[in-house]
Structure 1
Amino acid sequence: MTSKSNDQIVGQELKLKKKKVLDEVIPSTKIKSGTDSTANEQIDLRPQFGATNSADVRLRIFGPNREEYDGNPLRLHSQTLQTSDFFKALLSERWSSNIRPFEIEVTTDQSFENYLKCIEMMYSSTSSLRFSNVDECLAILSVASELLVDKLMQQCMRYLEAVRWNSEEESKIRNLLSSLSLSVLPDLNARLNKQNNNYLEFVRENIKAMLYFLSSCDCADKKQPIIRGAVGKFMVENLQEDESSGIAEMCRHIILEEFKANIEIAVTSNTEKNAADEEHSYFALLWPFTLIERCDGTTMEDALKILCEEMKLAHIIMQPQKHYTASRYTKVMLPILLGCLDALANGKIIAERKLRVGFLTIWLPVMARLLCPNLYFNHISDNDVLKTQLCRGVSNVVETLPFADWRGIYNIWIDCCAKYSIDLRIPFASGCKVLHEHK
């Protein structure tokens, strides 16, 4: 009897020790249901803000379609929430109530993750607020502006003003700030204010200086491609800016100005320089055109107008030339002219009838002559590919012209093909098609 009683006592002691060990390893947290004081012991996986036992607000968050956040309700503190004018207004409606804790529901279009981050930052001191990148800061700024947390909005703008942006991030910053009713910090506003005349003038002067350096440095200078790449990247990126900033129009104007100036240099210096200098001046003409091709159709159309105004250059190219001069024309002018022809053919350039006719009248004979085998091309396969490109481009453009204009261009086309050994099948096929349509 005594032995059995001792065994029971030992067993009970072991159970108590086991329970004590488990309690130490897995501490239980009490979660209250409503105002019920009865507690079910289980692990609380919801995010914790401050001391849970002193929380006097229960916040339930819902998405735009009333989808509920899994961690509802959040246990928060009215003293902290009152740093938000939004929550302060909600709480003021409940002060007269004797029910504690306060029950609040909010519906938001923001992601739950960003909403919680914003609440977490409301519990932090201003000096400890940190953002991992611009995107996170913008996400928090969007929530903070919705909740009207002034200290957090100020800190977000201070961060944005102080860190580097790329062009995509700058666009996001501009779009968000323009969509929010915020008083933007002066320093951030100054950084974003690219309409400032001093800023535009500074950019203009620096681009001009870089272009002058490129036009004056030696062709063999190994630094030239690096500098051209940097300048070109800057200008093309800024051409995609919002037109209201003024930078896009300024870069567009500078590129076209450079293109026109280089054509004039090529015309006036044709007989005044040695072969190396001539090659340098003509490659200086090709570079701005490669930028123009990356711009919109309006810029391409303006480049086409410049070419049609420069009949002297076309006349020079059609004259008998030394081999190195003919080679230079072919390497530089042919890509420019075929680029314009392709842009007309595929609709990138929406040019008036007069401009289309003028371009073909002036430059079709030049393109045909530059494709003449004894000028530059030693490989007939390359030559044939470009001749086909020329003929198909001309065919597509002449089909946009009235019959009276088409007939004049067609005669020039046939004459060029016969004179420079270009396959007549494409022009004849195009002619038959047009004649069939007009019979």
Structure 2
Amino acid sequence: MKNLDARSQLSNHPNPNMVTGGASKKRQRAVHPANSPTASSSSRPCAAVIIDSDSKRPTHPNPNPFPKPSPTAPHSFNDPSSADVLLRLFVDPSPLDLPATSFSNSPTAQSQDDVVLHLHAHALRRCKYFAALLSDRWQRHPQNDAVRNISLRVPPIPGAMDARIALLELLYTSDLASAITTVSAALDLLPVASELIFEDCVQFCLRFLEAVSWTQDEETRVLALIPHLSEDEAKDLMARVSGAPDSSEEMLYGLILAVTHNQSMAFVKAFVAKLLREFGSRELVERVMDRAFQTTFKVVKEAMEEYTSPGVRGNHDETEAIQRINLHTAMTNGKHLLWLVERMIELRVAESAVKEWSEQPAFTADLQRAFRDDAWRNIVPSLPSVLLRCTSRLVNAVAAGTILVAAQVRKKLVKDWLPVLIVCKDNNASPLTPSNKPLYLDLEETFLRIISTLPMPDAQELLQQCLSFSTRNVEDCPHLVTAFNTWFRRATHPPQAQNLC
């Protein structure tokens, strides 16, 4: 413990004015100079000791909540017939002696009577504190057969008396494992063992706490205890409760990769989605999701680029095999991308994904070239559907206001992906939505809604590219009719600049 050295010095140099033995009836208290650190009650140790000659105090047995250890010494704990040390535990009423850590969860401290224990010097010497105190060098008139009287101050907090009695009883056994069997017992005993410098108990408590699981309340007590430990003592406990600065980010990123790049079942993905929803830092979740989105999207783009512009020159079979691999890579990672997009929209952290999706003229050009060819139909027939679903999720979130982006981003989003939609529609590569409406029709309506939010010149440019939305029967494309009617209505409005304030 951090205060171990200070307590050791105090223990190894007891005040020479302290007296042991049974010759005098007058209590001799330690006398400290006025400028001594121990002269102030605020700086005296919790285990301050008074040598007392009165050996006839009554013993008040206290119920002991700790497991009773098996005695291994020739003398037993609290045995009046063979004791050579009379230890009085008394509650110090001074509020300045209250320690920082409580041994009990009870909100109020109850008064406790003094306790007198009949102990043995050979057992007490297992604590360096008592070993120094019982040294003959501090006795004015050493008597081998005299009963030494010691008073030990106990802080007035719940459980403090029981913890000290339990620790003193442990001095009579070498089998600490049979006595310390719960985290609560280890947490109660560790501060007292450190205070009295019972090193065997300190080391066992630390090993026990490091090896067993904790409840949340017990972990709170461990965290409160760590600042009072030395660096060497606390390192194993700190490694368990303190992560690296970016450990949460790496953990979340690893979970996302695990569910997207493996054949994870639906309930596994649902569990990770729940973790992301309930995570405390939205900023960190957004950073992790952006990172995963960028990584996965890059793989899809590179695969489609290699498919549309193969750099391999060889026989036809080798080229076809490589092309198949590229399409399967794009398809697999496209599914991962769709899951990421849906989670980002759900968590409202998809703004950067929309911006990235709107800046893909080269990628959308590759898609148009690929989908005009029928080779993909026999290899990955669902590839257009996956990429259109990603586009649909993002543009619907933009149109609904779930994701707020600038007008220029909205324009580029429609401008880059509108040609892909047209190619997929012409090649019958558009699936149905959950409402049994063709996906291309849903995208057409959403694109037109976004166009209606743009400045008039931009809307004019994009509406002209939407003429392919028309059908043989004009009544079958009301969304297109509404979009043009809206634009012409706005075009007839007189300029509003002169009406501004």
What is the TM-score when the length of structure 2 is the normalising length?
A: 0.46
Task: Find the residue that maps to 1:318 and give its secondary structure.
Answer: helix
1:332 matches 2:364: no
Q: What is the match of residue 301 of structure 2?
A: 263
Tell me, in whole angstroms, the C-alpha distance in 2 between the residues paired with 1:239 and 1:203: 15
Deviation at residue 381 of structure 1 after TM alignment: 9.0
Deviation at residue 336 of structure 1 after TM alignment: 1.1
Change (3 A) 1:339 1:159: farther
Structure 2: gaps spanning 5 or more residues: 1-61, 66-87, 94-105, 117-154, 168-175, 196-201, 311-318, 494-501
Q: Tell me the amino acid that sits aligned with residue 284 of structure 1.
A: N
Change (3 A) 1:292 1:375: closer
Q: What is the match of residue 244 of structure 2?
A: 195
* Native 8 Å contact 1:235 1:251 kept in 2: no
Tell me, in whole angstroms, the C-alpha distance in 2 between the residues paired with 1:173 and 1:348: 40
Tell me, in whole angstroms, the C-alpha distance in 1 between the residues paired with 2:403 and 2:433: 31
Tell me, in whole angstroms, the C-alpha distance in 2 between the residues paired with 1:366 and 1:158: 63
Q: What is the match of residue 39 of structure 2?
A: none
Q: What is the match of residue 367 of structure 1?
A: 421
Task: Find the residue that maps to 2:344 and give its secondary structure.
Answer: coil
Change (3 A) 1:390 1:255: closer
Post-superposition Cα deviations, 1:64-116, rounded to whole Å, max 9, x if no partner, equal xxxxxx99995645679xxxxxxxxxxxxxxxxxxxxxxx999xxxxxxxx99
Change (3 A) 1:79 1:262: farther
* Native 8 Å contact 1:373 1:380 kept in 2: no
Structure showing greater Rg: 2
Task: Find the residue that maps to 1:186 and give its secondary structure.
Answer: helix
Q: What is the match of residue 367 of structure 2?
A: 317
* Native 8 Å contact 1:232 1:291 kept in 2: no
User: Which of 343, 356, 361 pairs up with 1:306?
Assistant: 356
More helix by share: 1
Aligned length: 323
Post-superposition Cα deviations, 1:245-293, rounded to whole Å, max 9, x if no partner, equal 9897466424422322322222212465457532343222321341243
User: Which of 407, 415, 418 pairs up with 2:470?
Assistant: 418
Task: Find the residue that maps to 1:269 and give its secondary structure.
Answer: helix
Deviation at residue 334 of structure 1 after TM alignment: 1.4
Q: What is the match of residue 450 of structure 2?
A: 397
Deviation at residue 404 of structure 1 after TM alignment: 2.6
1:345 matches 2:383: no
Change (3 A) 1:402 1:226: same
Tell me, in whole angstroms, the C-alpha distance in 2 between the residues paired with 1:428 and 1:376: 22
User: Which of 396, 401, 406 pairs up with 2:459?
Assistant: 406
* Native 8 Å contact 1:341 1:393 kept in 2: yes
Tell me, in whole angstroms, the C-alpha distance in 2 between the residues paired with 1:157 and 1:181: 14
Counterparts of residues 254-293 of structure 1 (less than 5 Å): 254-270=292-308, 272-274=319-321, 276-277=324-325, 278-293=327-342
Q: What is the match of residue 4 of structure 1?
A: none
Tell me, in whole angstroms, the C-alpha distance in 2 between the residues paired with 1:431 and 1:56: 92
Once the two structures are overlaid, the 10-residue window that deviates more, 259-268 or 364-373, is 364-373
Instruction: Tell me how large the CA RMSD over aligned residues is.
Output: 6.0
Post-superposition Cα deviations, 1:304-350, rounded to whole Å, max 9, x if no partner, equal 33333332331233342203368333232111111211221233433
Deviation at residue 226 of structure 1 after TM alignment: 3.1
Percent identical among aligned pairs is 14
Change (3 A) 1:200 1:131: same
* Native 8 Å contact 1:255 1:288 kept in 2: yes
Q: What is the match of residue 253 of structure 1?
A: 291
Deviation at residue 375 of structure 1 after TM alignment: 2.9
Higher relative contact order (CA 8 A, sep 6+): 2
* Native 8 Å contact 2:470 2:480 kept in 1: no
* Native 8 Å contact 1:337 1:367 kept in 2: no
Task: Find the residue that maps to 2:387 and give its secondary structure.
Answer: helix
Post-superposition Cα deviations, 1:157-207, rounded to whole Å, max 9, x if no partner, equal 9877545699xx79x969x959x987793323333443368x799979988
Q: Tell me the amino acid that sits aligned with residue 300 of structure 2.
A: N
Tell me, in whole angstroms, the C-alpha distance in 1 between the residues paired with 2:156 and 2:490: 71
Deviation at residue 351 of structure 1 after TM alignment: 2.0
Counterparts of residues 28-427 of structure 1 (less than 5 Å): 76-77=112-113, 162=211, 185-195=234-244, 214=261, 224-226=262-264, 237=275, 249=287, 252-270=290-308, 272-274=319-321, 276-277=324-325, 278-295=327-344, 300-319=350-369, 320-322=372-374, 323-324=377-378, 327-372=381-426, 374-375=428-429, 377=431, 384-412=437-465, 414-418=466-470, 423-427=476-480
Deviation at residue 362 of structure 1 after TM alignment: 0.8
